Chain A
Amino acid sequence: MLSSRLLLLSLFLLTSFRVLGADNDSLLQRALLSYKQGAYQETVNILKNINSETLNPTKYYWQGICFNKLQMFDDAKTAFKNALALKYSAIDLYYEYGQTLYALNELQEATHYFKRSYDAHYKEGPSLYYMAHIAQTLEEYTKAYDTYLMLIKGGYSEGGLDQIATFQVAEVLLEKLNTKEAPARYVEKYVLPMLKKALAINEQSSVATDIRTRIRELEDKYDLDPLRMRNGRKLTQKKYLLTLGQKLTYDNNVTLATDLPTNKSTEDDSYISETRVEGEYRFVVAKRVVIKPYMNFSLIRYENRENQQVYQNDSLTYAPQLKTALEHKLFSSPASLLLDLQYNKTLRDREKRHERIFFGRSTTLSLGEKFLYGFGLDATVKFKIKNYTSYTPLNNSETKTLSYSQLFPHLNDNLFLLIVNYDQTVVEDSLQNTNSYLFRADYIVPGFVTDKYTLTTGFGLTLLDTLAQSALRGTEKTLNPSVKLSHESSKNLTFSILYDYTKNISLDSDNYSYTKSSLAFDLEYSF
């Protein structure tokens, strides 16, 4: 009797066990299906029904992962703690728990678990990063520094980890700044080089953008930007200018190029070839003074070799210049006090022998101010004195000039340039004295049709008061509309087409009134 009862009991227990085992299995299957579909809440609910000594550690671990994905970190913490208490040993358990604690701001404990994750060789790079980042957050800078270095030296570069770690090393170094006597020097010597090292790892990453911004901020704050002057004006990266240009022009009415501010037409046409070279180099002194020695050579040849009046204009010009600017502030904006000295020597075929000989030289001193006022772009006011020595003493002269130019922005990218100029020329032969007034406006459209094209249209009006000759010539007017289209074929090469029309109106119309048109093709290469 007893044995049969025992047998029945055993059978019953065995059957129950099998049923229970089958239930857990199907629950696990359902949970896995839900989990793979991302239905994490459902997965958690299914797992709640499992209660088995063998399965509980897995259950808690799995619930913790689901709660993490649902961003329910308090519940995740409880679940992971239960898994740990049951000595569950999944390879990612410490890492997942570390992330939960990090999200809950329990940073010290999070560090402990990331250390365990690192020791278990799971996500070593990210684990180290978490440890270093937490130390940095807790202002344990030495520990943060050492851990970041460990990460960098360990060669963990996946996902740009090395770059961001190097970036953070620079930030940690910056935190020590308030202990330094010469902060700017410290930043220049240690922090900026570290940031530049981080940038060099990958200049295209999104972190690189943050690094560049940080470099700019520090350079501005500690006045370390080599291109930023003390008044805040930012210079261009390129220190030098070297260009070669070749222009071919067709002029339908060549005017005599004299050394006087008056022109006569030859009523003959010609092709004109001009070759030019110019260059300059920029020096900066104490971030206040900019010095630019400049040189320009220009060789002009008129292809009409039959008309002496035309080819006598062949010329060779040398024009060295020393430009200086003292950077300061005016109207609370960067401004420059300009002082320039220019020398110009021209050789011409004045004797019509196909030989360029001395024609004239001049020295010009100019003093000016470039500033921002009202319209947001540069305005320049200049006063110049030019002494001219001609091959014939009667043409020696002195010219005083007062000029004003202003740039206006228009429609975001376009520019409007206005120039007003007054010249007073006193010639040795006083009959040639003149006063002239120039008004010129140009409209510049960068990105005309496409980014590569620039369109410039302009109109100039010059009024020439002929003074002693005014009874004969009156006040001559010169009208000069022009249009130019430039194409940037490459970073260095620019091709332009320019059309220029000139109409000169004089009382002495027989000698001084004329019209002319010229069409030019210009190719310029910049180094």
Chain B
Amino acid sequence: MNKHYLPIFLFCALAYQSSTAEEVAKAIIVKGKVYAITSDKKEIPLSANQAIDEGAIIKTAEKSFVKLLFIDKSQMNLGPSSEMAVTTFPKDKAGIITLLQGQIRSKVSKDYLDNKQKDQSKLFIQTKTAAMGVRGTDFQVTYNNENKLTSLVTFEGRVAMAKLESEKFANSQSSLEKIVSSEKSVMVTQGEYSGVGKGHERTSLPVKISPVQLSTLVKNDTFESSRGNNTADSKTESARSMLPPGVSSKEFSSTASIEQNLAKVVSTESIKEIIKEEKGVNTITIKPPAEGSFDSKTGAFAPPAGGYVDIKTGLYISPDPKTSTFDANTGVYIVDAKSGGVNPTTGEYMPPRIEGKETVLTPDGKIILASEPVRAPASTATGTKPSTTEKAPILAPPPQVIIFGVQPAAPKEAPILINDTRAPAAVINPCDTNPTLCSTTTKYENTAPTIKVNDFSRVKFIFTNGD
């Protein structure tokens, strides 16, 4: 009798083993409310050290966060109010992560990078509007479901990015590799930003973000937020910009070198050492000019460099080259204080206050008063969600903030919050070349009409010059 049970037992064990999905990651830090969504759409709370299977969907609530450690030693942090799927994560091929909403910060392990195919992607991230092939180590991706904008900031290494033409997710590594290697793809390197939305023809050309924001954002890999902490705006409420109106920012920026001044007080050798070392670190080559560029033939578009990235909405707050100070040290423009700033601890973009009151940036690019106070993320109390869609009262007209990413790169109407600065070589003001962008005029307004109509009827009427 016992002899019959053994094969049955072995069969059941094997069957059980083959039916369980493979574990590909572990949740090593869980903060707040984090869930794993099963195939039958049940939300199971996730706790620390819990295994994550291939195909799992992870979801975080407000003010929550999870750090995942994958089998290849890569780390991936999922930010608050976010959702991602571990679409596939095979041992011998690049993994595919689908970001459904929110933000992820990923640090791909160096071992993973050491394979022989250095130009191939080690990991793929896809959203509804973009595909990214990771060829570097540290980067952050945001996808906002309201404005369908995907934005990428690379902190170290390189990430290839391309627009996903249809909103259908790709299934295989080969199709994703093809997309991120296409002609319209871009390579986003250290300190750079690129973005793409539903109405855009292609991803924007990578530009350097504000180095001030970059230096704090790189350290904030747990998505700490400072909202509601009454952190006062540290910038001076100055009456004016450093630049007089209408002047060339580059011409008026100081170009004296710190190194020359240091050479007076320290040995030149030690400064040379630093410059040599710094050259090795700072490998960013700026391809589009700092003022931004637009190629009407290819549709390639770069916003002005030096802007802030709003991690929650994915929007890029661009400096205005006409009025912003140019920083000769970093080669980017400095966003005017009146357009907001960044929190010195978290690197979050802080929109400008209105009459001293805190404001929020909505996914469609508007700045409105924060209707309710936001609790700090460390608090486990259920704070009320800051409303970004209800119409909060505005006490004064909000300041003009130039934002890329809300509308397509070549809009037909003239939204207030868009920046499509043309390349300096073209020296074109968008309002001059595309009147429908900024105003509507008719050809015959207040001018003598010059229509000629020849009527070939029996009684001949010839109207010339408006007669």
B263-291 vs A, Cβ < 8 Å mask (1 yes, 0 no): 01110001101100110011000000000
A71 in contact with B451 (CB, 8 Å)? no
Shortest A121–chain B CB gap in Å is 13
Q: Among B20-28, B49-57, B107-115, B235-243, which stretch is in contact with chain A?
A: B235-243
Partner of A444, one of B216, B274, B451, B456: B451
A-contacting 9-mer, from B58-66, B88-96, B145-153, B253-261: B253-261
| B466 & A102 in contact (Cβ 8 Å cutoff) | no
Assess whether B182 is interfacial by the CB under 8 Å rule. no
Tell me if A90 counts as interface (CB < 8 A to partner B): yes
A240 to chain B, nearest CB (A): 12
Distance in Å: Cβ of A45 to nearest Cβ of chain B: 10
> Is B455 at the interface (CB under 8 A from chain A)?
yes
- Give the chain B neighbours of A388 by CB distance below 8 A: none
Q: Within residues 254 to 282 of chain A, which ones have a CB less than 8 A from any CB in chain B?
A: 255, 261-263, 278, 280
- B250: CB under 8 A from chain A? yes
- Closest-by-CB residue of A relative to B209 is A38
Interface residue B174 (Cβ < 8 Å from any Cβ of A): no
B450 contact set on A, CB distance < 8 A: 236
- Which residues of the partner chain B approach A235 to less than 8 Å between Cβ atoms? 447-448
A73 and B274 form a contact (CB under 8 A): no
Query: B258 to A236, Cβ gap below 8 A?
Result: no
Nearest CB on A from B439, distance (A): 12
B458 and A478 within 8 A (CB) = yes
Q: Judge if B463 is at the interface, Cβ distance under 8 Å.
A: yes
Contact with A along B433-451 (1 / 0, CB 8 A): 0000000101110111111
**Cβ contacts B203-240/A at 8 Å (1 or 0 each):** 00000001110111000000000000000001110111
Is B215 within 8 A of A39, CB to CB? yes
Interface: A465 (CB within 8 A): no
Q: Give the CA-CA distance A38 to B328 in the complex, in Å.
A: 10
- For A311, what are the chain B residues with a Cβ–Cβ distance below 8 Å? none
B38 at the interface (CB under 8 A from A): no
A126 CB contacts on chain B under 8 angstroms: 247, 251-252
Decide yes or no: A417 and B254 within 8 Å by CB, A36-B329, A438-B457 being known contacts: no
Say yes or no: A378 contacts B262, CB within 8 Å. Answer: no
Contact B456–A103 (Cβ < 8 Å): no
Residues of B within 8 A of A62 (CB): 258, 261
Q: With A and B bound together, what is the CA distance between A250 and B110 in angstroms?
A: 81
Instruction: List the B side residues contacting A419 at CB < 8 Å.
Output: 455, 461, 463
Docked-complex contact B248 and A160, CB < 8 angstroms: yes
List A residues 164-221 near B (Cβ within 8 Å).
164, 167, 204-207, 209-210
The contact string, 1 if C-beta is below 8 Å from chain A, for chain B 337-376, is 1000100100000000000000000000000000000000
Q: Are B212 and A65 in contact (CB under 8 A)?
A: no
Smallest Cβ distance from B451 to chain A, in angstroms? 6
Summed over the interface, the residue pairs from A and B with CB atoms below 8 Å come to a total of 235
User: Min CB distance, A421 to chain B, in Å?
Assistant: 7
A40 interfacial contact with B, CB 8 Å: yes
Write the chain B residue with the least CB distance to A125. B251
| B425 vs chain A, min Cβ distance (A) | 12
Q: How many residues on chain B are close to A (CB under 8 Å)? A: 76
Q: Indicate whether B327 reaches chain A with its CB closer than 8 angstroms.
A: yes
Query: Which among B242, B341, B453, B459 has the greatest number of chain A C-beta atoms within 10 A?
Result: B459
In the complex, the answer to whether A234 meets B446 with C-beta atoms within 8 Å is yes
Give which listed residue, A25, A241, A261, A323, contacts B270 with CB less than 8 A.
Answer: A25
Taking the complex as formed, is B380 at the interface, i.e. its CB lies under 8 A from any CB of chain A?
A: no
Cross-chain contact of A409 among B329, B442, B446, B451 (Cβ < 8 A): B442
B443 touches A462 (CB 8 A): no
Q: Find chain A residues with CB under 8 A from B255 CB.
A: 92
- B467 partner residues in chain A, CB cutoff 8 A: 323, 338, 340, 380
Asked if A233 is an interface residue, CB under 8 A from chain B, the answer is yes
Chain A residues with Cβ under 8 A from B211's Cβ?
37-40
A14 to chain B, nearest CB (A): 19
- Interface stretch of the complex, out of A53-61, A140-148, A467-475: A53-61
Choose one: A103, A380, A504; the contact of B466 (CB below 8 Å): A380
- Give Cα distance in the complex from A378 to B447, angstroms: 10
Does A370 lie within 8 Å of B466, measured CB to CB? yes
- Interface check A29, CB cutoff 8 A: yes
B454 CB–A CB distance under 8 Å: yes
Distance to closest chain A CB from B328 (angstroms): 10
Judged by a CB distance under 8 angstroms, whether A95 is at the interface is yes
Residues of chain A within 8 A of B330, CB atoms compared: 37-38
CB pair B327–A38 under 8 Å, yes or no, is: yes
Q: Which of A55, A158, A263, A442 contacts B251 (CB 8 A)?
A: A158
Contact B449 A378 (CB under 8 A): yes
Q: How far is the CB of B252 from chain A (nearest CB, A)?
A: 5
> B461–A438 contact, CB under 8 A?
yes
Assess whether A161 is interfacial by the CB under 8 Å rule. Answer: yes
Q: Tell me, in angstroms, the Cα distance from A471 to B243 when the chains sit together.
A: 87
- Given A29-B274, A104-B238, A378-B449, A161 contacting B251 (CB threshold 8 A): yes
Is B429 part of the binding interface, using a Cβ–Cβ cutoff of 8 Å? Answer: yes
Contact of B236 among A58, A103, A323, A409 (CB under 8 A): A103
Give the CA-CA distance A105 to B250 in the complex, in Å: 22
Is residue A70 contacting chain B, with contact meaning CB distance below 8 A?
yes
Within 8 A of B (CB), among A26-68: 28-29, 32-42, 54-55, 58, 61-62, 65, 68
A378 touches B466 (CB 8 A): yes
Q: What's the nearest-Cβ distance from chain B to residue A157, in Å?
A: 10
- Interface 1/0s, chain B 100-138, versus A by CB < 8 A? 000000000000000000000000000000000000000
Are the C-beta atoms of A74 and B258 separated by less than 8 Å? no
B427 interface residue per 8 A CB criterion: yes
B271's nearest neighbour on chain A, judged by CB, is A32
The answer, yes or no, to whether A510 is at the interface (CB within 8 Å) is no
The 4 closest A-B pairs by CB, nearest first: A38-B211, A159-B251, A159-B248, A92-B256
Q: Given A37-B215, A100-B242, 10 other A-B contacts at CB below 8 A?
A: A37-B330, A40-B211, A41-B216, A65-B258, A102-B244, A103-B240, A129-B247, A405-B463, A417-B453, A419-B455
Residue pairs across A and B with Cβ atoms less than 8 A apart, 27 shown, are: A25-B266, A28-B266, A37-B211, A37-B215, A37-B282, A38-B210, A40-B212, A41-B216, A69-B325, A71-B242, A95-B254, A99-B254, A104-B236, A104-B239, A126-B251, A133-B244, A160-B248, A161-B251, A167-B246, A206-B427, A413-B442, A440-B461, A462-B459, A478-B458, A480-B455, A502-B456, A504-B458
